[in-house]
């Protein structure tokens, strides 16, 4: 049976992609994950007994372990989700971002190069290394315009810089060594199984618990939002049909300010769990979730606006996002309200929804 390796498959986007790959490809799916604070096996409980699913707890910077996986499973393709992703944490401590995002990607590329070097030409021609990246590598936009695949890189956070470095390595291995690679750069993802430090799950859970909703700066920073199931379908489309050596922007076409996102979450919650009937709100004498909004000091180096032009992938591969923001956000808010057990399991003692990324001390 042909094998697909998915690194970071116990994380947010990775676990959603694992489900899609098992459902639609017929491949054996081998998941590699270090199981850091943001990766958790409970995100894969529903597929853990699937006959084509294999899980290995491996750190991608462990070269010998990664090479052993290549030798044992002889993959048809690899999709690299493994990354440290939270900008605020990269401000507090950049080192893990360089280690995982840059060195880890290098180790994977080297393992692929070594594996392919001893294989016949037909195997080398079929193999694909798909690297999942971000729109943050492009920097920040003004009030108009969009990032295209030709936009020069200008990362402004340690996280973005680490992802940009990885992107360049992936491209170089395609050009220099003939490892057939693909890069996808996505806009902000949201949906089920996202770790609780990110904007949307944090706002939902804080509101349900009657806690303040921290909004950075004036709340006017704009992001293009992409529902995670749409992102995963885009990645699979690129993996199956993309041109080797190319990069593709995957955007949702859903631009919102952070303040608009918070307001929409509050409106969704009023329909699902009205504040007037929420004991946590009543204890504070509040009747509307919007009363919890709290503006806090902005993140250092906070990019003002991201927006992706996804016309290339639409034109060449026929991919478009299936969910608009209203439908995707309603589905997401409902999921977090109904999956309190999952939230408690992944949060454990690792994160108490405290403020990160103020860079008050050097690491």
Catalogue the active-site residues.
135-136, 159
Segment holding 274, helix H or strand E: none
Residue pointed to by tokens 């902005």:
298
Which residues in the chain belong to E strands, given as ranges? 3-7, 28-33, 53-57, 77-80, 128-134, 181-186, 188-190, 213-216, 222-227, 247-250, 255-257, 293-296
Instruction: Note whether 282 and 187 are within 8 A (CB).
Output: no
CA distances in angstroms from 121 to 108, 175, 325, 350, listed in the order given: 20, 17, 44, 47
Nearest partner of 102 among 51, 168, 157, 196, judged by Cα? 168
∠ CA 123-124-128, nearest 5°, is 100
Nearest partner of 194 among 24, 6, 329, judged by Cα? 329
CA distances in angstroms from 146 to 135, 141, 192, 201, 255, listed in the order given: 10, 7, 27, 27, 11
- Residue 204: strand, helix, or coil: helix
């Amino acid at each position: 049976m042909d094998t697909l390796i998915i690194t970071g498959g116990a994380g947010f986007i990775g676990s959603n992609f694992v489900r899609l790959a098992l459902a639609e490809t017929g491949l054996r799916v081998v998941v590699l994950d270090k199981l850091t604070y943001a990766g958790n096996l409970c995100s894969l409980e529903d597929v853990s007994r699937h006959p084509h699913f294999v899980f290995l707890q491996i750190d991608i910077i462990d070269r010998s372990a990664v090479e052993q996986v290549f030798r044992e499973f002889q993959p048809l393709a690899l999709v690299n989700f493994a990354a440290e992703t939270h900008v605020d944490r990269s401000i507090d401590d950049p080192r893990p971002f360089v280690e995982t995002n840059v060195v880890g990607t290098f180790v994977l590329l080297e393992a692929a190069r070594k594996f392919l070097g001893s294989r016949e030409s037909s195997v080398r021609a079929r193999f694909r290394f798909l690297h999942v990246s971000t729109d943050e590598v492009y920097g920040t936009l003004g009030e108009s315009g969009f990032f295209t695949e030709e936009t020069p890189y200008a990362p402004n956070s340690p996280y973005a810089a680490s992802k940009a470095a990885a992107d360049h390595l992936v491209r170089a291995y395609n050009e220099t060594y003939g490892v057939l690679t693909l890069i996808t750069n996505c806009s902000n993802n949201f949906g089920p199984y996202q770790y609780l430090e990110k904007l949307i799950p944090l706002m939902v859970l804080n509101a349900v618990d009657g806690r303040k909703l921290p909004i950075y700066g004036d709340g006017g920073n704009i992001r293009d939002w992409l529902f995670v199931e749409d992102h995963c379908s885009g990645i699979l489309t690129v993996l199956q049909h993309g041109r080797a050596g190319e990069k593709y922007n995957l955007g949702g076409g859903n631009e919102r300010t952070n303040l608009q996102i918070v307001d929409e979450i509050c409106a969704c919650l009023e329909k699902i769990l009205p504040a007037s009937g929420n004991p946590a709100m009543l204890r504070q004498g509040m009747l509307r979730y919007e009363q919890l909004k709290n503006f806090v000091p902005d993140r250092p180096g906070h990019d003002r606006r991201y927006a992706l032009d996804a016309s290339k992938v639409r034109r060449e591969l026929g991919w478009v996002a299936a969910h608009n923001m209203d439908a995707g956000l309603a589905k997401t808010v409902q999921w977090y309200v109904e999956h309190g057990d999952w939230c408690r399991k992944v949060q454990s003692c690792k994160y108490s929804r405290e403020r990160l990324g103020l860079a008050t001390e050097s690491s």
